[in-house]
Each structure stands twice: as structure tokens, then as C-alpha cells.
């Protein structure tokens, strides 16, 4: 059984943190409907969906991935790079402690879950505007005893590492080569996104299926041609907040 921790859209999402995208109006009602559909898809794919409490004023809190990295052996609570987001971790901690031993990133470290891509026993960590060297070094020390290695790669053209690369099948990565160096991915098979869809590299693998934004049909066709079982979903309003499909859940084995 898989567990998926999610958090409902905050009514203040229009005041979200933005780094690489211009601020545009967000239809909160539509964003909530899209997120509810996202939760329904997770459930249909076999996940037990657990909803963390929504706290007033935490505009970005629907993007729950940034609060933690969940491994089979433990969960690492992150320390988001945006100060306005650090209070998001508390509600997630209260849920995760039911399932995992917990470790935490401490100051001066910052670490967003969206900068962490686990592929097998390798964790690729993005050094970004949200995740710093101290945070990544702390993570490396925490997970080393559990057989994981951490590779650092610098991201400069996008918010998070997973904006530029995500796993769509075991050892198979979807990537935007214009946004990220290929140097950390020599041991993996890669699918390039379509050149006309620069934001298309974020996909959410759930077992043998992949949840994918319907707004990137050219790249979606590439995935289908490679035999990936794709479930398309409309997340247009969440994308306006610099969000994507991996951002909105923490998925792990309930053991």
C-alpha cells in the first residue's frame, strides 16, 4: 500500500513565492477543483490519501513535497529556502512521525524537497535558490548510514531540480537539457522534453503509472511512445504558482 500525503489549496495561494515566473491571477476555486482531481487520481492509482491540515497564511502549502524526503528507512524533514514556507513543516511532521523515524535539516541549512530526485540508492540534490550547500551536506550525512549517496548539481534556470528532471520509470528520466547539466545523469537513460514545452520535465511516477500535466501534449506523446502508462491531469492554476505534479504530494510505502 502506498500513502500519499497531500494538503488542500490555501485560499491565499495568490500570494505565493515566485522566482522564475511572473505573477498572474490564480482562480482559487479552479485550483481547488484541479487539486481535488489530483487527489482522486492518486486514490485511483492505489494510494491511501492523507490530507495534512491547512493553515491560514501559508500560501504555498499545497506544494507539500518541499517539506520532506521520505525513504523506506526514515523521513528527513526539510528546511525550506523561503522563510515564509518554514511553518509548513510542522503539520507534515505530525503525520510522518506515524510512519517513519524522523531526522531534520538544521540552520543554516536550507533544503526543498523539490530539489531532491531519488533514483535507486542515489539522491541527486539541486543546489538552487532554495537549497544550499549546508542543507545538502546535512542530508548526505543523514542518509549515508542507510546506503544512499548524494550527488550535487547546480540549478540556475529553474526553481527546483525536479522542474528540470524527474523519473518516469526505473532508471528512466524525463529531462530538459537546456535547464540542467547532464553531468549527473550519465548512468541513466534519458528522454528529452519537446523543445516547445520547456516546463514539461516534471512527471509524477506512482508505481508503474505516471501522472502528467495535460498542458504538454508533445512531450506526453514522447512518453506514450516509450511505453509509459500516462494519466493526464489539468494543473493549469497550480502551474501559475510555479507548481507541478510532484510538488503536491509525498508518496511512500506504508510498510
What is the set of active-site residues? 160, 247
Nearest residue to 4 (alpha-carbon basis) of 49, 43, 61? 49
Cell 541513466 identifies what position?
Answer: 188
Could you tell me how far CA 203 lies from the centroid of its own chain?
9
Closest residue by Cα to residue 115 from 101, 125, 123: 125
Backbone phi, psi, residue 149, to 5°: -105, 155
Contact 154, 127 (CB under 8 A): yes
Cell of 216: 504538454
Amino acid at each position: 500500500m502506498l500513502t500519499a500525503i497531500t494538503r488542500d489549496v490555501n485560499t491565499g495561494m495568490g500570494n505565493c513565492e515566485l522566482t522564475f515566473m511572473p505573477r498572474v491571477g490564480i482562480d482559487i476555486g479552479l485550483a481547488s477543483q484541479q487539486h481535488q482531481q489530483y487527489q482522486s487520481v492518486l486514490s485511483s492509482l492505489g494510494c491511501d490519501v492523507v490530507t495534512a491540515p491547512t493553515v491560514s497564511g501559508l500560501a504555498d502549502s499545497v506544494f507539500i513535497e518541499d517539506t520532506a524526503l521520505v525513504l523506506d528507512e526514515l523521513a528527513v524533514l526539510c528546511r525550506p529556502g523561503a522563510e515564509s514556507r518554514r511553518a509548513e513543516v510542522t503539520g507534515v511532521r505530525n503525520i510522518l512521525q506515524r510512519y517513519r523515524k524522523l531526522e531534520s535539516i538544521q540552520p543554516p541549512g536550507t533544503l526543498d524537497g523539490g530539489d531532491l530526485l531519488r533514483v535507486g540508492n542515489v539522491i541527486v540534490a539541486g543546489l538552487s535558490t532554495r537549497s544550499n550547500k549546508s542543507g545538502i551536506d546535512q542530508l548526505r550525512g543523514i542518509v549515508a548510514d542507510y546506503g544512499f549517496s548524494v550527488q550535487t548539481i547546480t540549478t540556475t534556470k529553474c526553481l527546483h531540480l525536479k522542474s528540470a528532471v524527474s523519473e518516469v520509470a526505473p532508471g528512466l528520466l524525463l529531462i530538459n537539457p537546456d535547464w540542467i547539466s547532464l553531468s549527473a545523469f550519465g548512468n541513466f537513460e534519458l528522454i528529452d522534453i519537446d523543445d516547445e514545452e520547456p516546463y514539461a520535465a516534471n512527471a509524477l511516477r506512482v508505481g508503474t503509472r505516471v501522472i502528467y500535466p495535460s498542458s504538454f501534449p508533445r512531450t506526453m506523446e514522447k512518453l506514450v511512445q516509450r511505453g509509459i502508462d500516462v494519466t493526464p491531469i489539468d494543473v493549469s492554476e497550480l502551474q501559475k504558482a510555479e507548481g507541478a505534479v510532484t510538488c503536491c504530494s509525498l508518496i511512500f510505502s506504508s510498510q
